[in-house]
Structure 1
C-alpha cells in the first residue's frame, strides 16, 4: 500500500515538472510573439513615418517640372534636419501607441540623406532621365536617339565647314589685294598724268600754245561690287540683322551668385547605395529633350525668371539679350559654313562668282586678284544667305540643316540689296528645321556638367519668381536613411534603420 502511494506521488511530481516546462515554453513563446509583434509594429511605424514625410513632396516641382523632392527647409530656405526628424517622429508615435504594446520612442535621427543637387547634380539628372524613359517608352526613346544623332552629325560637319571657311581671313586677303591694286592704280594714274604733261609740253613746243592737243585717259566701265556692301553689313549687330522688324527682346537678368551655379551648396550625408554617374549618350539626349519640354526659349518664352531659358543653357550669361546674341551668332556661323559648302559644290553659282570676280579684277586693273575676289564673293554670298536663314528661323519659319541649290534664297545679282530684301527674299521650307530644333542641336554641344547646373539655375530662379523667394534646390531631399531606438514593455530596446527614396 505504501509503495502504491509512493508511486502516485512520483507521478505527480513528474507531471508538475513537465507542466512547469510546458508553461515556461508557452510563456517564452508568448513573449517571443509579443516581441516579434512589437518589432513589426516599430518597423511599421518607421515605414509609415517615412512614407508620410515623403508624401509632403514639393507640389510646384512636381506640377511644373515632374520632379519628386521634399523641401527639407520646410519653407525656410536652409536645410532643417531637426524639423524633418520631428516630422518623422510625429507620424511614428501614433502607430507605436496602437494595440496593447507599451512602446516608447527613445531616440531617432538621420544616418544619411541625399539632396537633389548632390554629386554635381547627378541625382537631379538621373531622376529626369528615369522620368523621360518612363514617359517615352523604348520606341519613343529610340526614335528620339535616331533623330538627334543624325542632326548632331550634320551640325558637326557644318561647324567644321564654317571653321574651314574662316571668313575673316579671306576678307582680309581681299582687302589686302584691293589696297595693293588701289595703290598700283594710283601710281599708274600719277605716272600717266606725268607722262601726259610731258607730252603736252613737247606738243606746245612743236605746235605752239594755241594748238594744244589733249588725250583723255581710257575709262573703265563701272562694275557692281557687292563685297563692299556685305562688309558693312557684317559690322552690324547680329540681333539687328536676324530679328524680324517689330520684335521685342527681353531685357530680364538674373544674379548667378545667388543661384545653384554661383553659391556654396549644401551637401547630403552619404548613404550606402551611392550614386553612380550616367554619362551615356542616351541619357544626355533624354535630359536635353526634358529641358526642351520644360524650359522657355525665344519662340515660347518663360513668364517667370529669364524669358530665354534654353538660350541660357547654351550660353550661360546673366541677361536674356546676351544669351540670345550668343545663339544668333552661333546659328549664323553654322549656316554660313553649310551655305559656303553648298556654293562650292554648285558649279552654276561658282561660274557666276568667277565671272563677277574677273570683271571686278579687270575693273581694278588687277586680273591676278580674281581668285581672291572670287573666294571673298562666295563667302559674302554665303553670309547673306545665312542672314536670311537665321532671320527666317527667328520669324518662326523652317530652314533645312543641309541646303540644296533649289532652297537658295538670294541671287548674286541681289547681293548688294540684302538689307532691302531681308523680309522679301527669305522663304520658309516646311521640310526644314525650326528655331527650336536648331537650338536643341546647339545645346548638344554643351557639356553635361554645364547643362545640369544651368538647368537647376533656371528651375530655382523660376520657382523663386513665383513667390517662393527662399526656395533652394540644395534643400530638396530625395532620399533618407533614418534610425529609431524604441523600448518595448519597459524592458527590451529595439534599434531599427530604414531607407526611403523617390524612384
Structure 2
C-alpha cells in the first residue's frame, strides 16, 4: 500500500515537472515572440517615418512651377507660392500634409484602414535643415538645368555640329577684325605705292602749289596725270558719307521704318539682377558635369527667347536675345548696340576685301585721284584712297545689316559676286539701297551673327541676363506677378520626428530635381 502511494506521488511529480518545463518554455517563447514583434514594430515605425517623409517630399516636388516648365523645360519648386517671399513654412506644411497619409493610415480612409502592425505614428516635429535655390553659388542650379534641357532638346550630334560651326565662325570673325586692324591711315602711302607697283593706278605727280590754283597747271591737267576725270569738291562722296553717318546707325539701317522699332523698356528694380538674391543653406547645388556648358546656355537663349526678327510678342521686352548681349533697359538701345557690334564685324570683313581685290583697289585709287585733282592737291590721293575704302566698307556694312534684319544672308567673307555697294553710291548708300541691296544664297543669317556675338559674352553674365528675362517673362502669366527666380527651390533637406508611445523616431531625407 505504501509502495503504491509512493509510485503515485512520483508519477504526479513527474507530470508536474513536465508541465512546469512546458510552461517555462512557452514563457520564453512568448517572450521571444513579443520581443520580435516589438522589434518589428519599431522597424516598421522607422520605415514608416522614412517613407512618410519621402512621400511628402515627392509630393511637394511634384508641384513644380508649371509655367516655368512649359515655357522653358525647367523644373523648380516655386518657394514663394504666389507671394513675394520665400515660404519655407509652406514647404513644410505641404510635406507634413502628404506624410500624414503614411503616419496615420486611417487618414481620409472611410474603411478605417490600417497597416500591417496597426501603427499610428504621431508627428512630433518637422524642420527644413537645408535647401538649394536657383541662384545659389553663381546660379549653379539654373545653369545645370539649362544644360540638361538643351542636351535633351537638341541631341548630341546637333550640338556637336552647332559647336563646330560657331567655333569656326567665331575664330574667323576674330581673325577678320585683327587683320582689318592692321590697316591704318598712316600707311596710306604704302598702300598707294603698292597699287602703283601693280599697275592699278599712276603715281602721284609732283606739283608745286601755294594754295591757289596755278595758271600753268589746271585741275584737268592734274586729273589727266592721274589717269582719271576731275571730281568737283562739292561731289566728293566722302562729304556725303560723313553727313549720312552722323544720322546714327538705326536711321541708316531702318531708313524706311525706324518708327516701327519697339520702344518697350523696363524700370529700375524690375530685374533679378537689380536686387540682392535670397540664399540657400546647408546644401551644395549640383553642377553641370558635361562639356559645352557655354554653348548649351547660348543655344537655350537663341531657342527660347525672341530677337528682333520675331516681331511683336506679349513680352516685357521684344528684343530679348539682344538684351543678353547689350544689357540695356530698353529694346531700342539693345538693338542699336547689337547692330553696332555686327557693323564693326561686317566693316572689318568688307575692308579686307577692298584692300585685297584689284578691281576695287583700282576704283578707289581712281576716285581719289579725281578728288585730289579737284582740290588741286594731288599729294592727297593716297590718304583719300584709304578714306574712300573706309567709307565704302562702312556703306557696304550698312547694306549688310539691312539684308540681315530683313531675313537675308550675308557671307562672312565677301566676294565680287556678293558685293553690293557701287563706288559711285558711297555718299548715298541709303537712297541706293533698294536697288543695290541683295541677299546671298550662302551665308550667315541674323541669328548666326547673334551667336558669334554671344561667344564674346562671359558665361556668368550671359546666365544672369537669361535669368532676368526668364523672371520677367514668367511674371506675365496670370497669378505669377510676384514670381521670383531666387525663391525657386532646386533641392531641399528635411528632418521629421515621430513617436509611438514612449518610443521616438527620426528620419532625414534630401530630394531635388538633380537626384
**What's the TM-score bracket when you normalise by the shorter of the two chains?**
0.7 to 0.9
- Structure 1, unaligned runs of 5 or more: 171-183, 193-214
Aligned residue pairs, count: 468
405-414 or 362-371, which deviates more: 362-371
Q: Could you tell me how far 1:5 is from its partner in structure 2?
A: 5.0
Q: C-alpha separation between the residues in 2 aligned to 1:71 and 1:60?
A: 10
Q: C-alpha separation between the residues in 2 aligned to 1:426 and 1:383?
A: 14
Are 1:154 and 2:172 an aligned pair? yes
Q: Which residue of 2 aligns with 1:410?
A: 421
Deviations 1:464-485 (A, max 9, x none): 2334321111111111111100
Q: Which residue of 2 aligns with 1:200?
A: none
Q: Which residue of 1 aligns with 2:86?
A: 79
Q: Could you tell me how far 1:60 is from its partner in structure 2?
A: 0.8
- Structure 2, unaligned runs of 5 or more: 1-6, 106-113, 189-206, 224-229
Q: Which residue of 1 aligns with 2:442?
A: 431
Q: Could you tell me how far 1:117 is from its partner in structure 2?
A: 1.5
Q: C-alpha separation between the residues in 1 aligned to 2:477 and 2:339?
A: 29
Secondary structure at the residue paired with 2:370? helix
Question: CA separation of 1:237/1:185 partners in 2, compared to 1, >3 Å: closer, same or farther?
Answer: farther
Q: Following TM superposition, where does structure 1 have runs of at least 4 consecutive aligned residues deviating by more than 6 angstroms?
A: 166-170
Q: Is the 8 A contact 2:49 2:506 kept in 1?
A: no
Q: C-alpha separation between the residues in 1 aligned to 2:88 and 2:468?
A: 24
Matches within 5 A, 1:175-254: 187-189=210-212, 218-220=218-220, 222-223=230-231, 225-243=236-254, 245-247=256-258, 248-254=260-266
Q: C-alpha separation between the residues in 2 aligned to 1:405 and 1:281?
A: 40
Q: Which residue of 2 aligns with 1:180?
A: none
Q: Which residue of 2 aligns with 1:126?
A: 144
Q: Could you tell me how far 1:313 is from its partner in structure 2?
A: 0.2
Which structure is higher in helix share? 1
Are 1:144 and 2:162 an aligned pair? yes
Q: Which residue of 2 aligns with 1:49?
A: 56
Q: Which residue of 2 aligns with 1:475?
A: 487
Q: C-alpha separation between the residues in 2 aligned to 1:361 and 1:430?
A: 39
35-44 or 471-480, which deviates more: 35-44
Q: C-alpha separation between the residues in 2 aligned to 1:268 and 1:228?
A: 61
Secondary structure at the residue paired with 2:491? strand
Deviations 1:9-34 (A, max 9, x none): 44443333332222211111112222
Are 1:104 and 2:122 an aligned pair? yes
Deviations 1:339-363 (A, max 9, x none): 1111222122112222322333333
Q: Which residue of 2 aligns with 1:33?
A: 40
Deviations 1:51-96 (A, max 9, x none): 1111111111111111111111111111011111111111111221
Q: C-alpha separation between the residues in 1 aligned to 2:353 and 2:272?
A: 43
Q: C-alpha separation between the residues in 1 aligned to 2:307 and 2:185?
A: 29
Q: Could you tell me how far 1:217 is from its partner in structure 2?
A: 7.8
Q: Which residue of 1 aligns with 2:498?
A: 486
Q: Could you tell me how far 1:258 is from its partner in structure 2?
A: 3.1
TM-score (norm 2): 0.84
Q: C-alpha separation between the residues in 2 aligned to 1:216 and 1:404?
A: 44
Q: Could you tell me how far 1:162 is from its partner in structure 2?
A: 4.6
Matches within 5 A, 1:372-451: 372-451=383-462
Q: C-alpha separation between the residues in 2 aligned to 1:352 and 1:496?
A: 83
Are 1:269 and 2:281 an aligned pair? yes
Q: C-alpha separation between the residues in 2 aligned to 1:120 and 1:166?
A: 42
Are 1:311 and 2:322 an aligned pair? yes
Question: CA separation of 1:82/1:377 partners in 2, compared to 1, >3 Å: closer, same or farther?
Answer: same
CA RMSD in angstroms comes to 2.7
Question: CA separation of 1:270/1:39 partners in 2, compared to 1, >3 Å: closer, same or farther?
Answer: same
Question: CA separation of 1:188/1:289 partners in 2, compared to 1, >3 Å: closer, same or farther?
Answer: closer
Deviations 1:133-178 (A, max 9, x none): 12222212212212221222122223324544578998xxxxxxxx
358-367 or 112-121, which deviates more: 358-367
TM-score (norm 1): 0.86
Q: Could you tell me how far 1:416 is from its partner in structure 2?
A: 3.1
Question: CA separation of 1:216/1:350 partners in 2, compared to 1, >3 Å: closer, same or farther?
Answer: closer
Q: C-alpha separation between the residues in 2 aligned to 1:219 and 1:246?
A: 43
Picking from 353, 358, 373, the partner of 2:369 is: 358
Picking from 335, 345, 351, the partner of 1:334 is: 345
Q: Which residue of 2 aligns with 1:175?
A: none
Q: C-alpha separation between the residues in 2 aligned to 1:423 and 1:352?
A: 22
Q: Could you tell me how far 1:50 is from its partner in structure 2?
A: 0.9
Q: Is the 8 A contact 2:68 2:75 kept in 1?
A: yes
Question: CA separation of 1:109/1:167 partners in 2, compared to 1, >3 Å: closer, same or farther?
Answer: farther
Q: Could you tell me how far 1:126 is from its partner in structure 2?
A: 0.8
Secondary structure at the residue paired with 1:111? strand
Q: Is the 8 A contact 2:79 2:88 kept in 1?
A: yes
Q: Is the 8 A contact 1:244 1:391 kept in 2?
A: no
Q: C-alpha separation between the residues in 2 aligned to 1:445 and 1:132?
A: 20
Q: C-alpha separation between the residues in 2 aligned to 1:41 and 1:463?
A: 39
Are 1:67 and 2:79 an aligned pair? no
Q: Is the 8 A contact 1:114 1:269 kept in 2?
A: yes
Q: Which residue of 2 aligns with 1:464?
A: 475
Are 1:293 and 2:303 an aligned pair? yes
